[in-house]
Amino acid sequence: MSRIRITGGEWRSRLIRVNASVKALRPTPDRVRVTLFNWLGQDLTGLFCLDLFAGSGVLGFEAASRGAALATLIEQDQDAFGVLRQNAQALGGEHLELIRSDAVKFAVSTKQRYDLIFLDPPYRQGWIERMEPLLSGLALPGARLYIEAEKAIETLGAWHCIKRNQAGQVFYQLLERA
């Protein structure tokens, strides 16, 4: 079990546990999260945020720490989900919603809409392409989409890149609908 820190907001510097034995788990590095939340303006007060492939949950926890009205974390892996639950309990986050589900099944079934969607799926498995037709149905007007991937993404359906960067072999970008 390893730990990573929350970089800002109410829970700044709090450590969360990460189950390092879960395959394909790649917590978003501190410096990438700092850049992302600088792009977003740090204060997410009142926003509805969705972390579709939560993994460590750090993106959802960061959103809740910065005032999100709701941060919904979706994770299918049983072991990863167990650690998410423990971290949420330790933080005492009343604005956190944890759901153990497949991301596609969740996206098809939910009625909730979101202002900010985090999409950081396992690499080289076609998840971004599978999620693309479902994203508009999850998004509120003016929503933004954050994607971490093994390649740069300029457009994704109706979404276009407004900010991008790279850390090592990870490409990360913020998109808005055209």
Which pLDDT tens digit goes with each residue over 118-144?
A: 999 998 899 999 999 999 999 999 999
- For range 44-70, the mean pLDDT: 97
Q: Name the DSSP letter for residue 70.
A: E
pLDDT of residue 23 exceeding 80: no
In this prediction, residue 19 carries a pLDDT of 84
Specify the long-range contacts of residues 155-159, CB closer than 8 Å, at least 24 apart: 156/128, 156/132, 157/132, 157/133, 159/135
Domain at 2-177, CATH from 3.30.70.980, 3.40.50.150, 3.40.50.300, 3.20.20.70: 3.40.50.150
Q: Name the DSSP letter for residue 47.
A: -
In this prediction, residue 27 carries a pLDDT of 85
Confidence of residue 1 (pLDDT cuts 50, 70, 90): confident
- Please state, in angstroms and rounded to a whole number, the distance separating the CA atoms of residues 130 and 101: 15
Q: State both tokens at 12.
A: 């700044």
In this prediction, residue 54 carries a pLDDT of 96
The domain segmentation of the chain, as residue ranges, is 2-177
Higher pLDDT, 20 or 142: 142
